[in-house]
């Protein structure tokens, strides 16, 4: 891939002299969905698919962007004086947002750059292509200009850019999983205080399979911000009767005892998901540590049911993929992953069942939905790096 992107960079920008190549992964969340902005736990891992980049410093303030995923858009020009979000800027709002966020944190970008990207994450799939671009950009800026920032800082800067530049009210999980990725491990992260530990993923005789629904969705125009608002209202109502900072502070029993403080049944269901999903995630990691992959799979299944019924973020595409997966022998667990409303499912499938899984789920999905899903057998990889 390095040779391919350097060659394309030379083609697009005249030559590749002084250019450097980089990579940042995508991520998949194994369990703990819509808990990250509710002060709960998440359990994501970085993938070996992600975003490749080639960058080169300029002697002026000009920014020139090119994506091999959107070649028809050609080179998109901007400058360091134009670090403002705009609809016309399209995907370049993500790298520009990170450059802006570095400036907001007192690290001004001293010169422009030429930047070429090539992602092999399915676009709009929910595997965090935007967060991958953000972490990649932050890593490039650190490498170019010697900014004193850790990988955890890169995650926080990426989230800041997403929240304040691109106006998507996302939690920390995506950027954190990508920046802090470790091969063959998932990150058990407490989003309330950013304490974390790496848990080895030893799926003996099984693999992680991602099914992409190919229903496109954008975080900003989904009901993501609406769900977040519902949880914030439920939290404010609960705080009148119980001393908590976030929904993640509650266990199931305390929630059930105090849920009557929430004045609306929809908000009760939203808060219930946040509380129960957090506890499921804690139990799932314990199960994995005890080599109880079957229990982990059952908790994944329960997570999907909660996301479908209480949080209402699945939709017919994701439900079809998961419900068809549950019918197949050798599927240990399956659930939607990401924000929902399209995107992907993640399943743990025994090696001998993978081909049958892809064939049967794929056929049933196409019959019901009318177009095909794509399947990826993935491996867990490291965080951002120079190539």
Known catalytic residues are 174
Q: Which helix (H) or strand (E) holds 199?
A: strand 195-200
Nearest residue to 299 via CA among 356, 346, 258: 346
- Give DSSP secondary structure letters for 164-188: HTS-----SHHHHHHHT-BTTEEEE
**Alpha carbons 323 and 327: distance in angstroms, whole number:** 7
3-class secondary-structure state, position 14 = coil
For 24, the enclosing helix (H) or strand (E) is strand 20-29
Tell me the CB-side half-sphere exposure of residue 2, using CA atoms within 13 A.
Answer: 8
DSSP 31-47: S--S-GGGT-EE-EEEE
Tracing tokens 């490749």 back to the chain, one arrives at 52
Phi, psi of 37, deg, nearest 5: -90, 5
């Amino acid at each position: 891939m390095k040779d391919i992107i350097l060659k394309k960079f030379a083609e697009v920008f005249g030559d590749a002299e002084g250019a450097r190549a980089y990579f940042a992964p995508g991520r998949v969340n194994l369990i703990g969905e819509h808990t990250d902005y509710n002060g709960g736990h998440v359990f994501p891992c970085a993938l070996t698919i992600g975003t490749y980049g080639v960058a080169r410093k300029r002697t002026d303030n000009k920014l020139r962007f090119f994506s091999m995923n959107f070649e028809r858009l050609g080179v998109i020009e901007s400058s360091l004086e134009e670090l403002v979000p705009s609809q016309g800027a399209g995907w370049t709002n993500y790298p520009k947002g990170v450059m802006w966020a570095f400036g907001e944190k007192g690290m001004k970008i001293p010169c422009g750059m030429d930047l070429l990207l090539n992602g092999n994450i399915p676009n709009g799939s929910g595997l965090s292509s935007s967060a991958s671009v953000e972490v990649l950009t932050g890593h490039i800026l650190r490498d170019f200009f010697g900014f004193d920032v850790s990988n955890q800082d890169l995650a926080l800067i990426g989230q800041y850019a997403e929240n304040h530049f691109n106006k998507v009210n996302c939690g920390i999980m995506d950027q954190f999983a990508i920046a802090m990725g470790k091969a063959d491990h998932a990150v058990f992260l407490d989003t309330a205080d950013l304490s974390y530990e790496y848990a080895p993923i030893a799926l003996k005789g099984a693999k992680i399979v991602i099914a992409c629904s190919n229903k496109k969705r954008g975080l900003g125009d989904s009901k993501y911000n609406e769900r977040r608002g519902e949880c914030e209202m439920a939290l404010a109502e609960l705080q009148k009767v119980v001393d908590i900072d976030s929904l993640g502070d509650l266990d199931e029993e305390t929630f059930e005892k105090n849920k009557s403080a929430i004045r609306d049944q929809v908000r009760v269901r939203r808060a219930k998901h946040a509380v129960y999903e957090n506890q499921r995630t804690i139990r799932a990691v314990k199960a994995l540590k005890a080599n109880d992959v079957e229990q982990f799979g059952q908790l994944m299944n329960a997570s999907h049911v909660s996301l479908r019924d209480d949080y209402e973020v699945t939709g017919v595409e994701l439900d079809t993929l998961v419900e068809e997966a549950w019918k197949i022998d050798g599927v240990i667990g399956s659930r939607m992953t990401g924000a929902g409303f399209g995107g992907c499912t993640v399943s743990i499938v025994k090696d001998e069942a993978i081909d049958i899984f892809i064939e049967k789920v794929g056929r049933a999905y196409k019959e019901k939905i009318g177009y095909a899903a794509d399947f990826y057998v993935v491996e867990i990889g490291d965080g951002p790096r120079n190539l």
